[in-house]
Structure 1
Amino acid sequence: MLRNQRLCLLTRSMSTLTRVQTKAAPAAIGPYAQAIKVNDTVYTSGSLPVVPETGNVIDGGIKEQTQQSLDNLAAVLKESGSSVDKVVKTTVFLKDMNDFVAMNEIYAKFFGDHRPARSAVEVARLPKDVSVEIECVAVTNK
């Protein structure tokens, strides 16, 4: 029994779960965190194209929405101790797959030479009726 208790304590101390919250990105619109950091890995929630200062969806089309979503994602990553160049995987949710080329243009500029793994899927509907939502998994800068 003592061995199992030590193993349980060791496992708990190795996995530190931290909720990430920043005012530089929109607040969560439900019962979830902007991101969760587990040890040296960051799991973000979906980033919407919402202007943090106003809480409104940014004006414009898919390019403006993609840029705002990515800027919000970068703010959450920064708060978590990570950065865009530490992103391992992204998932892009599009309201209309016909927006893929325009989204991809902004996405490519944003990530530059860094090319994380990515999935892109068309969905029936997104929160606030936006055109795009982006989430990622990243490692920290340690």
Structure 2
Amino acid sequence: MSSQKFDSDKAPEPVGLYPHARQVGDLLFLSGVGPRERGTKKIPGVELDENGKIISYDIAEQCHSVFKNVRLILEASGASWDSLVDVTVFLTNMKDDFKTYNKIYAEYFKDNQPCRTTVEISSLPTPIAIELKCIAALKQNQNNG
């Protein structure tokens, strides 16, 4: 089965050798998406010390930023927010952040309600508190010509 890679010129650059998204058949798989901003080391809602360690962070600001980045990648891939069918959310502090994240998530997904899994992990590759892994269903023949 053939596949096609997509990269957004508006979403933050990947931190490794991988595309923002890859289409296989009628499915679009997004690589892990965080709240970073493109072309900068700035992470919305994060204050770092001189060694790059997190001093404080605002999970609400990171949630809004990560959802924006997912939307940018979907649009660059010819998809839309409503095409999301599965979202895996990685949080570094479930105890303190889940309630805020869950409230903001509900605002963004009130109309489209994809399947969702939320897990706590000890850290992410950059000093962020949230990352999303998404799958979207594309209309047949979309991006194929």
TM-score (norm 1): 0.85
What secondary structure, in the 3-state scheme, does the structure 1 residue paired with 2:126 have? helix
The answer to whether residue 65 in structure 2 is matched with residue 61 in structure 1 is: no
The answer to which structure has the higher helix fraction is: 1
- Partner in structure 1 of residue 51 of structure 2: none
Distance 1:140 1:64 in 2: 29
The alpha-carbon deviation at position 53 of structure 1 amounts to: 4.2
Q: Tell me whether 92-101 or 51-60 shows the greater mean CA deviation.
A: 51-60
Counterpart CA distance in 2 for 1:17 and 1:56 is 32
Note the C-alpha offset of 1:69.
0.7
TM (normalized to structure 2)? 0.83
Q: Distance in 2 between matches of 1:133 and 1:20?
A: 19
Moved over 3 A (4+): none
Q: Deviations over 1:62-107 (max 9, x none)?
A: 0110111111011111111111111010000000012111011111
Computing the radius of gyration from Cα coordinates, the structure with the larger value is 1
Structure-1 residue corresponding to 2:74: 77
Q: Distance in 1 between matches of 2:132 and 2:72?
A: 13
Query: What is the distance in 2 between the residues matched to 1:16 and 1:110?
Result: 32
> Structure 2: 5+ residue runs without aligned partners?
46-56
Unaligned regions of 5+ residues in structure 1, if any?
1-14
User: Between the two proteins, what is the percent identity of the paired residues?
Assistant: 34
1:95 aligned partner: 92
The aligned amino acid for 2:4 is T
1:112 corresponds to which residue? 110
Cα distance in structure 1, aligned partners of 2:75 and 2:118: 24
- Counterpart of 2:5 in structure 1 is 19
Give the paired residue count.
128
Q: Is residue 36 of structure 1 aligned with residue 22 of structure 2?
A: yes
Matches within 5 A, 1:37-52: 37-52=23-38
How far the C-alpha of 1:139 sits from its partner, in A, is 1.3
Stretch moving more, 106-115 or 69-78: 106-115
2:137 aligned partner, one-letter code? V
Distance 1:111 1:83 in 2: 13
Work out the CA distance in 1 between the residues paired with 2:85 and 2:63: 19
